[in-house]
Chains A and B, each alone.
Chain A
Amino acid sequence: MNKPENLKYEEMYKLGTEPLSTEDCVSPELFEQERQKLFKRAWICVGREGDIPNAGDHLVRDLDVLQTSAIVVRGKDNQIRAFHNVCPHRLNKLVPEGEGNTRKFMCRFHGWTFDLDGALSHCSNKELFTNFDESKFSLPPIHADLWEGFIFINVAEQPKENLREWLGDLNDQFEGYWDEMELRGKWSAVVNCNWKLYVDANTEAYHAPTLHSRSLRDSFASPDNPNCAFNTVRLFGRHRIGSVYANPNYQPNPMEELTFKIAETPLYPATSATTGHLPPGVNPSRNPAWAFDVDVVFPNLQFGAANGWCLVFFYWPLSVNKTLFEACTYMYKPETPGDVISQEYTLAHVRDVLREDMSTLEGTQQMMESGVLKYIQLCDEEITVRHNHVSVANFIAEAD
């Protein structure tokens, strides 16, 4: 079954066939709605548990889209908690952005000090405050929960759904998938485009034979599947898994071939994938002619899940037409120096292929903003793009 399932996604998922308006990529008003009604009510991934392995380890993220700065910290009881990064005294920002380890958080303005669970533990000259009740001056909490080692936060006062409910049927799709992997590379860039445009470009495969013709040659296309049709696209409510075809007869270029030969851990592309040990959500159709999957955990977390390595993308909206993109690559621990060298090929190659995807974004945003044309046209294979925009619009509509 080297051929894709050749499903009619439009019939399966009934998301419509009409052209999509560009408004949600260019309108500052709609962006503000996304901020208030989507992002501030959504479970947002801010990192992995392994980023803060020890008690007192914390990361601080300034999240423009949530209009706050968040502290995520592992407590002495091993619990991961999140707080707004603000001192309740005169609202100084408590911790500068970055990562670190601490026993307590001390505000550098007047020295109020907080335990890792957010409780105020010290304040000098308490008696000078009228009716001082220290139990009222804990750090303002943010809901936090874990899934498969990912840390999610939700800034809503009372989230409508807990994280399990938010993920729905996606919950069991990746069980244990990341357990043995570690962060092997990370890069980032600020790109002048709407965050959804960026997700679109990274979650359809129709462009691969054209846009990536020089870098990927025919690795994603063959006479069987000339347009790189998905092996399958599965929608899980607001989330999605698209499984990308790979040409099983692809002939690697010389350095690529060498790195495949010397690798002890699986590498890109995974055309010879043995998929028996993968969880159900990775290569869901179990097609051996498979490169990787493009998965979106709604709204702004993406996986590029492959056999033995995985990309994790964070899309951080900065404004209607500006996005901070962070690309992390998780891989197995290299067993030999040869492994390090072969992993480097995957890391470098994937980065530069992604830079090809990025090359379209600012031009598209510019022309969308020109307003000359106000609609985009989508084919059946671009169901992932349609699902992206429709899911955001539906969520906002239902939020009212």
Chain B
Amino acid sequence: MKTAKLPDEFSDLQDFVSEWALEHRADRFKKRYTSSIDDIRRYYDAIMPRMEAIVDHLNQFPVDDIPEASQPLLYMSLSGVEISRAVELWDAPDNYAFPAERVHIDQ
């Protein structure tokens, strides 16, 4: 699969697209708990300072009509939300909880 090219102002995040621009919630959840905390932290450090700019960019568009070139930014920010707690709260890819792999994300 060809990796999408981000809008120019977000080229600093280009290297993270293939791993973190995940459309489905189930994939973002799994990506978090199967990643190392170092990988998660690297992504967090890249995406966190850019979140507001991404939101400003995406908010130019209607919620159900984000142009294709900007969609990876939405998915990357959703991944950012997913992994943020690993860094900010748990210092681990997952919390101490019921096994993540036994949870089925239906939607």
Interface string of A341-360 (1 = CB under 8 A from B): 10011011101100110110
CB contact between A255 and one of B61, B85, B90 (< 8 Å): that residue? B85
Encode contact with B along A234-253: 1 for CB under 8 Å, 0 otherwise. 00000000000000000001
Complex A-B: 7 CB contacts under 8 Å: A215-B89, A255-B80, A255-B84, A255-B85, A336-B63, A341-B78, A341-B81
In the assembled complex, the Cα of A255 lies from the Cα of B77 at a distance in Å of 11
Of A119-127, A143-151, A187-195, A224-232, the one with at least 4 CB within 8 A of chain B: A187-195
In the complex, chain A residues whose CB is within 8 Å of the CB of B104:
187-189
Return the contact of B103 from the options A189, A258, A347 (Cβ within 8 A).
A189
Residue of A nearest to B47 (CB): A255
Chain B residues touching A, majority SS: helix
Does B98 lie within 8 Å of A359, measured CB to CB?
yes
Do residues B81 and A183 form an inter-chain contact, with CB atoms below 8 A?
Answer: no
Residues in A neighbouring B97, C-beta threshold 8 A:
352, 355-356, 358-359
Enumerate A259-313 residues with CB–CB distance to B below 8 Å: 259, 262
B11 touches A (CB below 8 Å): no
- Contacting pair B66 A186 (CB below 8 A): no
Interchain nearest-CB distance for A83 vs B (Å): 24
Instruction: Report if B46 contacts A (CB, 8 A).
Output: no
Contact yes or no, A359 B59, CB < 8 A: no
Q: Which one of B2-10, B12-20, B35-43, B50-58 is at the interface?
A: B50-58
Rounded to whole angstroms, the CA-CA distance of A253 and B25 in the bound complex is 22
Contact status A348-B81, CB under 8 Å: yes
B residues less than 8 Å from A256 (CB atoms):
84, 88
Cβ of A254: which chain B residues have Cβ within 8 Å of it?
48, 84, 88
Q: Are A341 and B74 in contact (CB under 8 A)?
A: yes
The answer to the question of A339 belonging to the interface, with a C-beta cut-off of 8 Å to chain B, is yes
> In the complex, what residue of chain B is closest to A336 when comparing beta carbons?
B59
Complex-state Cα separation, A348 to B28, whole angstroms: 10
Q: How far is the CB of A102 from chain B (nearest CB, A)?
A: 22
A258–B51 touching, CB < 8 Å: yes
Decide yes or no: A255 and B95 within 8 Å by CB, A348-B29, A355-B100, A355-B103 being known contacts. Answer: no
Report chain B residues within 8 Å CB of A189.
98, 102-104
Check: B68 CB closer than 8 A to any chain A CB: no
Asked if A356 contacts B95 (CB within 8 A), the reply is yes
Tell me whether A185 is interfacial, beta carbon within 8 Å: yes
Q: Pick the residue among A214, A259, A351 that contacts B89 (CB under 8 A).
A: A214
When chains A and B are docked, how far (Å) is the Cα of A326 from the Cα of B97? Answer: 17
Q: Which listed residue, A214, A338, A344, A359, touches B90 by the CB 8 Å rule?
A: A214
Q: Are A337's CB and B59's CB within 8 A?
A: yes
User: Which of A187, A337, A356 makes the CB contact (< 8 A) with B74?
Assistant: A337
User: Taking A185-B25, A186-B107, A255-B84 as contacts, is the C-beta distance between A341 and B96 under 8 angstroms?
Assistant: no
Q: Which of chain B's residues have a CB closer than 8 A to the CB of A358?
A: 97-98
Is A157 an interface position by the 8 A CB rule? Answer: no
B98's closest neighbor in chain A, by CB? A358
Across the interface, do A214 and B81 meet the contact criterion of CB distance under 8 Å? no
Q: Which of A175-206 contact B (CB under 8 A)?
A: 183, 185-191
Among B48, B61, B63, B66, the one with the most A-chain Cβ atoms within 10 Å of its Cβ is B63
Residues of B within 8 A of A188 (CB): 103-104, 106
A340 within 8 A of partner (CB): yes
Q: Which residues of A contact B58 (CB under 8 A)?
A: 336-338, 341
Closest Cβ of chain B: how far from A363's Cβ, in Å? Answer: 11
